[in-house]
Each structure stands twice: as structure tokens, then as C-alpha cells.
């Protein structure tokens, strides 16, 4: 079901002076955001919204709805950049059969990129003034679907299944609940995440908030790019410990195999869509404030006029968030996790009327509703995985959103 609040859309995009801090311009209610290194887009209000029906055809449905909506729009775009004109922010659930996939076209979008800034408005807008963000106060945590020992037991079961044959890897997620003294102001979380993780993509879409290091796809014209992350170690106590951990990660057969599986799944998804594709032979190291990852940047050129959603549909779920082989891994996830991930580890990002956009994998994130938050983390389980080590990795990943809540 979809609801268009303004139809047809009357859209105007104009150049504006540099807004400096995009997040500081957001009003308090239901912000939308996609920020990296201070650049990106923020939005507020709703010109149109669609709750995308679950099922295997959901990406086709989303593309069709957006095409119809944008084709009927009256657009005056004086900027002509990717992300100018009407833009939809979206979050797709990890599981295609789960409800909760949403697309929203904000009434106002403010953006900056490559030394330029612009403002897009839809309809007649009475601009909301940005109120000072409100701290959430004390945070109390509780177990999510499973306690820590229960989750370790599920990891051990997954390891046994992998060793018995049939699959190489499965990604198991863990959730944690939190309750604040006051309603959680999403702008507080966005500001902390953007400052502490500037190299990540800080996002907010319909209550799903986080800072993901993993770029599923950037689509600009015919060019596509994807950043594959798989293989993780926590940061050390200092430079020497960091270097030791990085060397061990790079030499780890388990982590290198996990990374190779993830890269292979991206190569397999992109090859039919691309006339040219470059896949690095060796991974590099991506160092974040809390963890280090093995990373490979894959680039290519599309062979036809596919939109960013076509590429997202072909790539999701990658081995980095599902497992290998995909079908077997998804079945084991449903058996062992015992929860609905919602948008966690699903595609999150934006698309414009030309089909350009940026979509990440919703990692290091939480669902926010009033005073309540549900935090997520996941780990790639292999034949050599140790449950206690995987739990420590999940806890390190959960600390990203714990910091965002607590400061």
C-alpha cells in the first residue's frame, strides 16, 4: 500500500550557500539523513510514502512506484547533480518476506556535495525551525531475543552445521534493548555518529538510525562502486596492539576465506549488469574507531540503463550479511536467530529521479521509537569460529550505538 501526500509532486531545486553542518539544520521530527565526511543529504517532512509489499518482487514494485511518482512530477532542477530534484529515502528489510520496507520522499531536502550545496522543496513549505536537540538521559539496557549465553549456544550450533558440510558461512545477528529517561532525539544520535565515525555512512530512515561502514552500491550515471567488508577484529589498546591485531587479521585463514566469499558474491551479482568490472586481488584494511575490517572496493560500469535499485536487487543479500551459499544460510538464520531483523542488514539509502543513488547495508544501527531502542550487531560464523570470540565481536559492534545513546 502507498500513500502520496502531494500529487502531482511540484519540485524545485535551487543552489544555496554552504550550510556547513547539515545535521544542525534538521528540525526535531522524523529526520532523514545520509551523511559521510560532512557531505550528503538530510530531509524532513513527507511528500509521499510507500510501504512496499513484501515478497520476491518488492524491488520491482518499488522501482515501478517511484518511476510513476517521478514521471508525473513537475520538476524544476537548477542544479543537475546526483541527489538534486526529488529524492526518496528507503529502508528494505533483510528478509524479503518480512513487512516493513519503506520509501519516503521528503518535502524538504538539503544537500552538499563536491563543493556545491542545494535545497529541494516539494509543494508549499512552511519550514520548521531547528530546535536544540534534547539528551535522552539515563539509558537502561536489557536482553534482546537471546541472552549472551543463549546466543553463544546458537553460534556453536551454527559451527557444527558448517563443519557437517552444506554451507561455508552464516551470519548470525544479536539484538539488545534500551530504554531512555526521555524520548530519544534522533538528531543527538546522528550528530554523535557523524563526529565519531566520519568515514561511515550515517543514516536515518523511518526510525532506523546508524552509521554503516559498508557501501552496498554507489550509482552515478553508468558507474557503480561497492565496498565489501568481511573479516573483523577489535581495535587494540594502542598503535602496537593495533598493528599486531591487523597483521593477525590479514593472515587469518578464517577471515580471509570469509572475505573471499563476500567478494565472490558481489562479483557474481554485478557481472551480469556490468560491461566492465574491477575486483581487487587482495583486500586492504579499513580501520574504524572500534574495529578493523578486511575491505575490497569493487568498481564497474553498467552495460545498460539500470537504476541503483536494480543493482541493489541483484546484490542483496550479500555473503557479508547472509552467508554462503545464500539459500542455505538464510534457512539457517531463520532457524537459529529466532527474531525478525527488520531493516537491520538490509539495504538503506536514497535514489533520485534519474536512478542515481547511494545504498549501504544497515549495520551498526538501532530502531528508535519514543524512549525505546533496539540495537543490532552480527558476526560471520565459519567452521573455525569460537563462540566467545564471536560474542566479543558482536559486543564491540553494539558499542557504536551504545555510544550514540550515552555520549
Q: What is the set of active-site residues? A: 169, 214
Angstrom distance (rounded) from CA 357 to CA 140: 37
Burial of 153 (0-12, 13-18, 19+ CB in 10 A): middle
Cell of residue 353, nine digits = 529521479
Residue 244: count other Cβ atoms within 10 Å of its Cβ. 12
C-alpha distance across the termini of the chain, in Å = 38
User: CA nearest 26: which of 35, 13, 17?
Assistant: 35
User: CA nearest 201: which of 220, 186, 215?
Assistant: 215
Q: Is the peptide bond before 8 cis (omega within 30 degrees of 0)?
A: yes
**DSSP states along 302-318:** ESS---HHHHHHHHPSP
Q: How far from 13 is each of 109, 122, 128, CA to CA, in Å?
A: 9, 9, 18
User: CA nearest 357: which of 323, 397, 309, 404?
Assistant: 309
Angstrom distance (rounded) from CA 56 to CA 237: 45
Contact 351, 87 (CB under 8 A): yes
Q: Is the peptide bond before 103 cis (omega within 30 degrees of 0)?
A: no
Residue 338: count other Cβ atoms within 10 Å of its Cβ. 12
Contact 314, 273 (CB under 8 A): yes
Contact 10, 73 (CB under 8 A): yes
* β-pair partners for 193: none
Amino acid at each position: 500500500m502507498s500513500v502520496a501526500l502531494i500529487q502531482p509532486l511540484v519540485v524545485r531545486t535551487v543552489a544555496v550557500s554552504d550550510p556547513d553542518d547539515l545535521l544542525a539544520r534538521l528540525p526535531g521530527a522524523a529526520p532523514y539523513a545520509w551523511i559521510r565526511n560532512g557531505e550528503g543529504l538530510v530531509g524532513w517532512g513527507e511528500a509521499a510514502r510507500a510501504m512496499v509489499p513484501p515478497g520476491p518482487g518488492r524491488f520491482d514494485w518499488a522501482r515501478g512506484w517511484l518511476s510513476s511518482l517521478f514521471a508525473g512530477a513537475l520538476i524544476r532542477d537548477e542544479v543537475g547533480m546526483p541527489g538534486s530534484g526529488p529524492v526518496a529515502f528507503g529502508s528494505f528489510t533483510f528478509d524479503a518476506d518480512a513487512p516493513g520496507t519503506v520509501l519516503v520522499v521528503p518535502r524538504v531536502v538539503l544537500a552538499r556535495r563536491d563543493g556545491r550545496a542545494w535545497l529541494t522543496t516539494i509543494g508549499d513549505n512552511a519550514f520548521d525551525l531547528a530546535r536544540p536537540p534534547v539528551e535522552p538521559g539515563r539509558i537502561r539496557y536489557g536482553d534482546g531475543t537471546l541472552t549472551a549465553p543463549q546466543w553463544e549456544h546458537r553460534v556453536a550450533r551454527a559451527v557444527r552445521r558448517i563443519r557437517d558440510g552444506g554451507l561455508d558461512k552464516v551470519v548470525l545477528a544479536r539484538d539488545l534493548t534500551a530504554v531512555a529517561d526521555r524520548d530519544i532525539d534522533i538528531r543527538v544520535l546522528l550528530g554523535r555518529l557523524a563526529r565519531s565515525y566520519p568515514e561511515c555512512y550515517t543514516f536515518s530512515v523511518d526510525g532506523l538510525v546508524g552509521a554503516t561502514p559498508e557501501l552496498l552500491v554507489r550509482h552515478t550515471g553508468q558507474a557503480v562502486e561497492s565496498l565489501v567488508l568481511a573479516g573483523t577484529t577489535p581495535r587494540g589498546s594502542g598503535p602496537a596492539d593495533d598493528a599486531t591485531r591487523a597483521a593477525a587479521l590479514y593472515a587469518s585463514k578464517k577471515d580471509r576465506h570469509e572475505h573471499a566469499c563476500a567478494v565472490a558474491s558481489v562479483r557474481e551479482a554485478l557481472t551480469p549488469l556490468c560491461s566492465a568490472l574491477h575486483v581487487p586481488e587482495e583486500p586492504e584494511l579499513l580501520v574504524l574507531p572500534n574495529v578493523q575490517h578486511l575491505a575490497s572496493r569493487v568498481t564497474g560500469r553498467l552495460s545498460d540503463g539500470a537504476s541503483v535499485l536494480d543493482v541493489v536487487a541483484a546484490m542483496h543479500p550479500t555473503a557479508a550479511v547472509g552467508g554462503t551459499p545464500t539459500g542455505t544460510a538464510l534457512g539457517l538464520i531463520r532457524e537459529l536467530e529466532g527474531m525478525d531483523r527488520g531493516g537491520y542488514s538490509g539495504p538503506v539509502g536514497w535514489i533520485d529521479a534519474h536512478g542515481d543513488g547511494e545504498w549501504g547495508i544497515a549495520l551498526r544501527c538501532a530502531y528508535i521509537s519514543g524512549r525505546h531502542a533496539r540495537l543490532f550487531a552480527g558476526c560471520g560464523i565459519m567452521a573455525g569460529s569460537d563462540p566467545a570470540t564471536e560474542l566479543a565481536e558482536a559486543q564491540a559492534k553494539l558499542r557504536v550505538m551504545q555510544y550514540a545513546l550515552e555520549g
